[in-house]
Chain A
Amino acid sequence: MHIKLEKRPAPSVAMMVLTPVLSVLLTTLIGVVVFDFLGVDGFGAVRDIFLTPILASYKWQDVAVKAAPLVIIALGLSVGNRAQVWNIGAEGQYIIGALFAAGVGIAAGDMGGPIVVLAMVLAGILGGALWAAVPALLKTRWDVNEILSSLMLTYVAGQVLGYLVGGPWKDPNGRNFPATAPLHDNQVLPIVFPGTTVHLGVIVALILPFAFWWLMARSMFGFQVRVVGAAPQAARHGGFDTKQTIWLALVISGAMAGLAGAFEFTGALHAINLGFPSGYGFTAIIVSFLGRLNPIGCLIAGIVLAITYVGGQVAQTTVHIPSSTAGIFQAMMLFLILASDIFIRYRIRFVTRRPQAAAVAGE
């Protein structure tokens, strides 16, 4: 008997939906085994990372607040990934988005209210888009690989943040800590459910996936992105501009990362310090692939990844493992989801080989 990969006549929709689910389950299984092997309570770790945030209702708001930036960034990245434009620098665009929002807030001084908050959020979008425009320009003018340029700009963004919060924007009443002054109450994003931390950005993160689904499935822009990604030569033949697509894909993903940064700043943290970049921009890459580059998939995957973030903190206190353990689980999920991609277009067959013409049952 041997195992054989056989091409499917058409991509399997069932596998498209099933493989992300199986990847998550397999991740937990491997987690239990490996942690037990390391002498840690493996079942406890997996339970706290994956289940406690779902079962304990007081954790739901944390999950929602953490899922919002992941979903918003992943939506933008999915547009780029569909066009085979790989923006790895969403983290940097997220930082710059937050800094632009902070800049507008500082410039507004004591002014506040919906108009100022809206201006801060729009500035965040603009900042993220501008930061992503740099790799777009380099790519379209000089064919510089956008993976490298966008990633390197993330570190530049980190330095810009360090300079601003440690210098010109440092809180005068902050005991010399490198951080901006906390936002005035009239400059923060409204809380949707009083008594919780669920801010308006969470609601936007719930609506945006549907807008993106409509954009990608129904609009000519979505068609253009899909054609350029699937067959660049056919796209040129069809009269679609590849450079324009690269520009739009990068600018949209940058704008979304910037929006997420502005929401995180105005909605959740209210101040920017050196710990502001928390890896959402990188984790969103996992969300994008776990969600199969599908906007609704990104919404679900964003919630799953947010659960692991929250669960990682729970496990830190209960089973005493570092909260970065969640990162291991997230990476394992990405690994498994990418590896299981093959089952969408291929299926496994167990073939029994006999000396004479082997009879294999057909479909």
Chain B
Amino acid sequence: MTTRDTPRLELTGITKRFPGVLANDHVGFAVQPGEIHALLGENGAGKSTLVKMIYGIMQPDAGEIRWNGQPITVASPKAARRLGIGMVFQHFSLFEAMTVLENIALGMDAKIPARELEAKILDVMKHYGLKLEPRRIVSTLSVGERQRIEIVRALLLNPKLLIMDEPTSVLTPQEVDQLFVVLRKLAAEGCSILYISHKLHEIKALCDTATILRGGKLVDTCNPKVETSRSMAEKMIGGSLKDIQRQPGVQFGAEKLVISDLSIPAAGHFGTALKGIGFTVHAGEIFGIAGVAGNGQNDLLLALSGEVLSARPEAVTVDGKPIGLHAAKARRLFGMATVPEERNGHAAVPVFSLADNAILTARDRLGLAKSGMIRAGAAWTYADEVIEAFAVKATGPQAMAESLSGGNLQKYIMGREILQKPAVLVVSQPTWGVDAGAAAAIHQALVDLAAKGSAIVVISQDLDELLALCDTLAVINEGRLSKPMQVAGADIEEIGLLMGGIHGDAQATAAAKEALVHAH
């Protein structure tokens, strides 16, 4: 990396206004050839808007974009790709029922014969050590493999700048390491990388420069190798970061949630069968379930929430009461609250107000409906209470759920369940796509709820999160749950191997072992 060269990309005074929000306010920074440049910021800080303008999805209201020193207008993503700008989005746009090859072919601007394309793909994969089978159907692939499709798709265009939006949010430690190898190789070949994330230790490990945004404004451009994770996080949230406050040496109470021999056949083509799952969570205990995406986490959540019923009543018991045959509504009355991983359309109705979304899951426990009628006033008050208690940034209970940023909606959903004082709370991916400030608040709320005597189950692919938060941990793999282990003094290598035993792939297991040796 040489800073004396003309920057590959230079932004000056970029401003973008949306109705009611100034998303970017005179933002400027430069990315050098071959530089890995981090773009840091909380949700709603304006990172996405900024990269959308670089990638030509939107146009800035004011300011200048220079590409290799030349002022340019990026009219469309197609124009961006012609310039040599590639982007890998956080949410993949892949057709589940089609093969890797077909998916890549569909995303190409130029029509290339299939055989030629396949040769090119194999070439790119070999060059960067990306493992993929072009003929595999996408629905059979893990999240990490799906991301590789998107990366290959971008690399086929020989990009000069690759934008990666939160690429590691759903990857295992091993997959993250593999990704970093690819990115470093790309950078060494002169491709610039704009890396959006809020996982600060990754940015420290990978990036040369970090630009920090807050509230649409540029806060700082710094060297992440010199900064600490904490100092960057504090710049990002504009305040001091709170650690999780826990009372040490707490004794667990009675058994709250007992799952015994829970087996459920796979739902549809893309579901995973649950096989003989059993675990116990006590009052005050936070129980973590680790695992690579697509190993039955979602199926487990549905089986616990009551959206899918068990075969036997005793498969799920709360406070000693068998509720395996009860559906979601009845389970809530027994004190079982759940937060599924998908916020939009599962945990919340996007086109409903926050008050109406309170009615969705809190109506029976809190009496937000009485004799078949909605108590709109009570729902409004409760929504307001949640907004207040969890510092949700929203215009009020009348705000549509879809108008909130991901982190704020997640805080609202967590708050909606926690303030119902559930006996058992099961959450899946509680901080997925959520910024550091909101994640800390959510973690603290879970710890506080446990301290009040609730049993908590956290299903997450983020191992760091589970290790920081949980008392007990088990790993889910192909619908089977491992034996629980104490987090204090847990054998990280064993956890990694249990997670890495993915699809019985010997190579992946070996890679997992190696990665963990490095981690030690």
| A-to-B contact residues, CB < 8 Å | 8-11, 218-223, 226-227, 230-231, 233-234, 236-241, 351, 353, 355-360, 362-363
Contacts and interface: CB of A to CB of B under 8 A. Distances in A.
A341 B149 CA distance: 36
A237 B328 contact: yes
Contacts of A231: 345-346, 349-351
Given A10-B403, A234-B348, A360 B373 contact: no
B328 A357 contact: no
Contact of B374 (A10, A218, A240): A218
Contacts of A238: 328-329, 360-361
Given A10-B403, A356-B71, A227 B349 contact: yes
Contact of A233 (B75, B346, B363): B346
A241 B62 CA distance: 51
A234 B369 contact: no
B102 interface: no
B17 interface: yes
Contact of B19 (A9, A239, A240): A9
Contacts of B359: 223
Contacts of B351: 11, 230-231
A240 B361 CA distance: 10
Contacts of B360: 227, 234, 237-238
A216 to B, nearest CB: 11
B52 to A, nearest CB: 13
Nearest to B75: A353
Interface in B8-63: 17-20, 59-63
Chain A to chain B: the 3 pairs with minimum beta-carbon distance, closest first: A239-B329, A362-B17, A239-B328
A92 B372 CA distance: 31
B307 interface: yes
Interface in B440-496: none
In the complex, which of the residues A237, A356, A358 has the most CB atoms of chain B within 10 Å of its own CB atom?
Answer: A237
B373 A357 contact: no
7 contacts: A9-B18, A219-B374, A231-B351, A236-B307, A237-B307, A357-B61, A358-B61
Interface of A is mostly: loop
Given A219-B372, A223-B374, A359-B62, A239 B306 contact: yes
B509 interface: no
Interface in B274-330: 305-307, 327-330
B373 A351 contact: no
Interface string B338-371: 1010100111111110001001110110000100
A238 B356 CA distance: 11
Contacts of A233: 342, 345-346
Contacts, number: 102
Given A9-B19, A238-B361, A239-B327, A219 B373 contact: yes
Contacts of A11: 351, 400
B73 A355 contact: yes
In the complex, which of the residues A223, A227, A355, A357 has the most CB atoms of chain B within 10 Å of its own CB atom?
Answer: A357
Contacts of A239: 306, 327-330, 332, 361, 364
Given A219-B373, A221-B372, A359 B61 contact: yes
Given A233-B345, A234-B360, A220 B374 contact: yes
A191 B18 CA distance: 58
Interface string B394-423: 000000100100000000000000000000
A357 B62 contact: yes
B175 interface: no
Contacts of A237: 305, 307, 328, 338, 340, 346-347, 360-361
A359 B16 CA distance: 10
Contacts of B329: 238-240
A151 B345 CA distance: 30
Given A218-B376, A237-B347, 19 more contacts: A9-B19, A11-B351, A11-B400, A219-B374, A227-B352, A230-B349, A230-B350, A231-B346, A231-B349, A233-B345, A236-B328, A238-B329, A353-B73, A356-B64, A357-B61, A358-B61, A359-B61, A360-B61, A362-B18
B162 interface: no
A290 B385 CA distance: 38
Nearest to A226: B352
B76 to A, nearest CB: 11
A11 B305 CA distance: 32
Nearest to A217: B374
B65 interface: yes
A255 to B, nearest CB: 18
A359 B359 CA distance: 43
B59 A358 contact: yes
Contact of A357 (B20, B73, B340, B361): B73
A239 B331 CA distance: 9
B346 A223 contact: no
A234 B347 contact: yes
Nearest to B329: A239
B481 to A, nearest CB: 22
Contact of A218 (B330, B361, B373): B373
Contacts of A8: 19
A150 to B, nearest CB: 26
A360 B20 CA distance: 15
Contacts of A236: 307, 328
A10 B400 contact: yes
A220 B338 CA distance: 21
B12 to A, nearest CB: 10
Nearest to A4: B59
Given A237-B328, A239-B306, A359-B62, A220 B373 contact: yes
B346 A9 contact: no
B427 to A, nearest CB: 13
B74 to A, nearest CB: 10
Contacts of B345: 231, 233-234
A10 B404 CA distance: 11
A295 B71 CA distance: 55
Contacts of A221: 372
A8 B402 CA distance: 12
Given A218-B374, A220-B373, A236-B328, A357 B60 contact: yes
Given A355-B73, A357-B64, A359-B62, A230 B352 contact: yes
Contacts of B18: 9, 362
A207 B359 CA distance: 29
In the complex, which of the residues B61, B360, B364 has the most CB atoms of chain A within 10 Å of its own CB atom?
Answer: B360
Nearest to A355: B73
In the complex, which of the residues B73, B306, B403 has the most CB atoms of chain A within 10 Å of its own CB atom?
Answer: B73
B310 to A, nearest CB: 16
A295 B400 CA distance: 22
A221 B307 CA distance: 20
A230 B352 CA distance: 8
Nearest to B63: A357
Nearest to A9: B19
A359 B349 CA distance: 36
A256 B373 CA distance: 22
Contacts of A234: 345-349, 360
B346 to A, nearest CB: 5
Contacts of A227: 349, 352, 360
